[in-house]
Structure 1
Amino acid sequence: MTPGGDVAVTGLGLVTPAGIGVLESWRGILGGVPTAAVDPELEGMPVDFSCRVPGFDADELLGRRTAWRLDRYVHLALVAAREAILDSGLDPREWDSTRVGVVMGNALGGVRTFEEQHSAMLREGTKGVSPMLIPMMGINMVAGYIAIDCGAQGPNLVTTTACASATTAIGTARELLRAGRCDIVIAGGAEAGLTRPVVAGFTRMGALSGRVADPAGASRPFDGDRDGFVAAEGAGVLILERMEHARARRARVRARLVGYGASADAHHATAPDPTGDGVEQAIRMALLDAGIGAVDVDHVNAHGTATPLNDITEGRALRRVFPHRPSVTSVKGVTGHALGAAGAIEAACTVLSLEEERVPPTANLERQDPDIDLDVVAGGVREERMSVAVSNSFGFGGQNAVLVLAAA
């Protein structure tokens, strides 16, 4: 195999608070209607709202025999992966399984299972703990179960870089393909951490929006009145292939993954470096890897969490790198922040924007922060010609990861 060359995106799968499946999710994101709502599972907590996937029935979607032995974060991932494989036109019965890898991002693992089993142990002692605890809670298991589900026998791993996890996974998958280690990689991220202890932890950190009287208006990326993110769950999966492999089977190439960059702030456990130098470094590295200049970028799908520090830091870095002011959006106004899954959901949205030449609006952006000098799309879908787009993800620990995608 010859290293190098573009990587083809041939399939997409989404499970988000905006809907189950790519069509439903994209329709909701384009509509700009926030999904945050009061969450019965968080009743009585200081922050009692979230963005959950609506109407997700794992027994119906996966079969009860499969669903009972998996944590919810794997449920979401499997549904997204199956959709992506189907969308790609690949048939797992026919591919060379040793040349198919899986790289998924995840931040928290099976926290719901762990919490339920911890409660069972407190009630009943060790005999009350399920023998499935370890394989259900393990962070690595999402990639393992996807491989089991479709028979992928190539490299199999999970990347854990907090809220950059899925973007790191997609970038890592690209490197496996460019190095000739795989022909196909199933890549993305999944998260289902909407449990009371996790939400309490984020609340105590001051990371979440406190708009309990207006959940739908709580996630406000780049808005002057933003006060924190809204916790969410979800999954996104992209099928990536060596371009030669995709062309040989006459696959529909939805977009090209042409660049990846990563860096560390080396600054603080939870706060971004206010200079934005690490963010800028990752973006410039991705552009260099893609072999393009900043001026070639038409659109940025921003990390845009709606936290006071993240948005101003990202905004300043984007302004320095892209003085020509490409369009910018954050889908988190609709979906909330799905942590380790966010980067894959947003990469899939970036592919769709390139395909359809449509930029979704940033929901709840009513009064843009005057210190964020960007062309942020708000109020409705913007139609514009575009050839190259960037997707940003940043996480606790100072983790920065950036993808460059180009039209097919």
Structure 2
Amino acid sequence: MKKLNRVVVTGTGAITSVGQNSQDFWESCLKGKSGISLIEKNDLQLVGPKYGGQILDFDASQFVKVNDYKKIGRGSNLLIASIYDAIKNANLDSDTYEKADLFVGTTMGEISIETTDYNRYMGISSSENLLDQSFLYTVLANACREFSLQGESMLIANACSAGNYAIIEGYERIRKGEQSICFTAGEDPFSTIAYYGFNRLKAIAASKCKPFDKNRDGMLVAEGAGCLVLEELEHAKARGANILAEVTGYGVSCDAYHITAPHPESAGVIQAMEKAIAKANIELEDIDYISAHGTGTPANDKAESFAVNNLFKKKVPMSSIKSMIGHSMGAASLLEAIVCCNAVNQNIAPPTINFETVDENCEVDCIPNEARQFNIEYAMNNSYAFGGANSSVIFKKFRDN
């Protein structure tokens, strides 16, 4: 039987409302900084909720070098910026990264499709440029053009779990010896469709996202992009890369229960975590920290708390950065993966901010309001999507043995 390769993380990139590079993003998370602000978006009529996680000062001209930033969509610009940040942090040269695979998770792809579909409905002709940006695959095409990528590319439109699924694709490619280096990324621009859709579900908070708090009243729509550079261990060592963490396992499942509501007994969520632990060849008690999905909606937080408490024999520290940046859809679990990598590397976990009142239905250790320093050998990244698409990815502190 062929020996499976070890897969390590050698670079991270992030564009968020609390930091436009991975380092600033991480430091802001540790400080509990909020990136939530009043929503500013052309052609968006606020119907009640007024707050979201927008990147208000993002200047694409400072990041995009090959594409025309004015002609490609905001999602592409965010994605490209996060990949440049990851390349810089991984200290990659073009001869190395041009051979990489690219796996991108997203929910909306580009927001240009919103205007295009409206124009079609109204019988208005759309510009050629707008039509070019009205399909999901354009974010992938623009990123491949920007970096002259020659490897395999794949877009994963698996909603809120998409970032984790992108990591899983890259992990398997390297683990099986089919590739030595991959970019795994997630992106989503602030979406009018998401805003109206979650509002119709009565799932948006009035002003603050308060995961696991008794008085939580919903999520906040956000945007962002994140990227991990995954490498085969020997490939990374050969070029003298700085290794941030190791990916050791994952688990996925589908509830097949309801299009939006979580399974009442969290069966699929528990199954995803169990599969990840088995694949990582560790025990339940080895998990030291969980980056929670933690959307702040009553149903999601209750289901996730139930799953964690029923699976683990101890209260595992867990926190939700959605309390700070909102829910960035396809980028969410990728950004949370960056949190896991830094957590195992630095033995510190960010807080869940806005926490005030304990909920008897969410009796978890959510690291309330202040970051916590403790030994973190293994971190689990949990992410769940509409339709019951559950995913868990496990990151380990890197040890060269």
- TM-score bracket relative to the smaller structure: over 0.9
Partners of 2:138 and 2:392 lie apart in 1 by 25
Partners of 1:289 and 1:193 lie apart in 2 by 35
1:211-246 deviation per Cα after TM superposition (whole angstroms, max 9, x unaligned)? 1xxx2xx20001111111000000110000111211
1:317-356 deviation per Cα after TM superposition (whole angstroms, max 9, x unaligned)? 1112222222111111001000111000000011111111
Q: Which residue of 2 aligns with 1:136?
A: 133
Query: Given the alignment, which residue of 319, 326, 340 partners 1:336?
Result: 326
Partners of 1:389 and 1:290 lie apart in 2 by 11
Gaps of 5+ in 1: none
Partners of 1:303 and 1:279 lie apart in 2 by 11
Which moves more between the two structures, 116-125 or 273-282? 116-125
Q: Which residue of 1 aligns with 2:297?
A: 307
Q: Which residue of 2 aligns with 1:221?
A: 211
1:370-385 to 2 correspondence within 5 Å? Answer: 370-385=360-375
User: What is the SS of the residue equivalent to 1:256?
Assistant: strand
Alignment root-mean-square deviation, CA: 1.9
Judging changes above 3 Å, is the alpha-carbon distance between structure 1 residues 89 and 96 closer, same or farther for their aligned structure 2 residues?
A: closer
Q: Is the 8 A contact 1:31 1:360 kept in 2?
A: yes
TM-score, normalising length from structure 1?
0.93
Query: What's the CA shift for 1:312?
Result: 0.8
User: What is the SS of the residue equivalent to 2:88?
Assistant: helix
Q: Is the 8 A contact 2:67 2:142 kept in 1?
A: no
1:165-199 deviation per Cα after TM superposition (whole angstroms, max 9, x unaligned)? 0001101110111122211110020001332x431
1:80-229 to 2 correspondence within 5 Å? Answer: 80-92=82-94, 94-95=95-96, 97-98=98-99, 100-111=100-111, 113-118=112-117, 125-126=124-125, 129-195=126-192, 197-209=193-205, 211=206, 215=207, 218-229=208-219
Question: Aligned pair 1:241/2:222, yes or no?
Answer: no
Q: Give the letter aligned to residue 227 of structure 1.
A: D
Partners of 1:108 and 1:200 lie apart in 2 by 14
1:125-183 deviation per Cα after TM superposition (whole angstroms, max 9, x unaligned)? 33xx2223344132223233222222221110011211000001101110111122211
Partners of 2:53 and 2:216 lie apart in 1 by 17
Q: Give the letter aligned to residue 103 of structure 2.
A: V
Query: What's the CA shift for 1:122?
Result: 7.0
Query: What's the CA shift for 1:286?
Result: 0.6
Q: Is the 8 A contact 2:97 2:181 kept in 1?
A: no
Partners of 1:323 and 1:71 lie apart in 2 by 46
Q: Which residue of 2 aligns with 1:16?
A: 16
Partners of 2:195 and 2:280 lie apart in 1 by 38
Give the share of equivalent positions with the same residue, in percent: 30
Relative to its length, the structure with more helix (as a share) is: 1
Which moves more between the two structures, 254-263 or 57-66? 57-66
Q: Which residue of 1 aligns with 2:56?
A: 54
Judging changes above 3 Å, is the alpha-carbon distance between structure 1 residues 252 and 96 closer, same or farther for their aligned structure 2 residues?
A: closer
Q: Give the letter aligned to residue 220 of structure 2.
A: V
Partners of 1:373 and 1:123 lie apart in 2 by 50
Q: Which residue of 1 aligns with 2:222?
A: 232
1:64-97 deviation per Cα after TM superposition (whole angstroms, max 9, x unaligned)? 96212211111111000011011111111x2274
Partners of 1:310 and 1:284 lie apart in 2 by 19
Q: Is the 8 A contact 1:108 1:193 kept in 2?
A: no
TM-score, normalising length from structure 2?
0.94
Q: Which residue of 1 aligns with 2:389?
A: 399
- Paired residues in the alignment total 396
Q: Is the 8 A contact 1:3 1:180 kept in 2?
A: no
Q: Which residue of 2 aligns with 1:318?
A: 308
Partners of 2:297 and 2:190 lie apart in 1 by 19
Query: Which aligned segments of 4 or more residues in structure 1 are displaced greater than 6 angstroms?
Result: none
Q: Give the letter aligned to residue 188 of structure 2.
A: E
Partners of 2:135 and 2:4 lie apart in 1 by 33
1:11-30 deviation per Cα after TM superposition (whole angstroms, max 9, x unaligned)? 00001111111122112211
Question: Aligned pair 1:72/2:74, yes or no?
Answer: yes
Gaps of 5+ in 2: none
